[in-house]
Amino acid sequence: MGCDHPNAKIYYTINESFPSPKTLLYSVPFALPEGPVRIKAAAFINGKQVSRMLMLTRDELLQRK
């Protein structure tokens, strides 16, 4: 995952909650659990969301590789 905003941090969830600076910080690729999973991610700067939330199923994300 990447972001066009300089200095932005990407936070994500895999449990149907919405990403925020209190959720998982994306820093390196991670293994997706098997089964139906929905990844939600968004970029933040200083705690403020600076991107639209991306929402993909596990299968949709794997197709993007």
Which pLDDT value is given to residue 10? 96
pLDDT of residue 34: 87
Distance CA 65, CA 51 (A): 21
Q: Where are the domains of the chain?
A: 9-63
| 46-56: b (≥16 Cβ within 10 Å) or e | eeebebeebee
**Can you tell me the distance from the alpha carbon of 7 to that of 31, in angstroms, rounded to the nearest whole number?**
25
Half-sphere exposure of 27 (CA within 13 A, CB side): 3
62 band by pLDDT with thresholds 50, 70 and 90: confident
* Chain segment 8-50, per-residue pLDDT in tens: 999 999 998 999 999 999 999 888 888 889 999 999 999 999 9
pLDDT, position 65: 67
Look up the pTM and report it: 0.87
Q: Which two tokens stand for residue 10?
A: 């990407």
Q: Check residue 47 and give its pLDDT.
A: 95
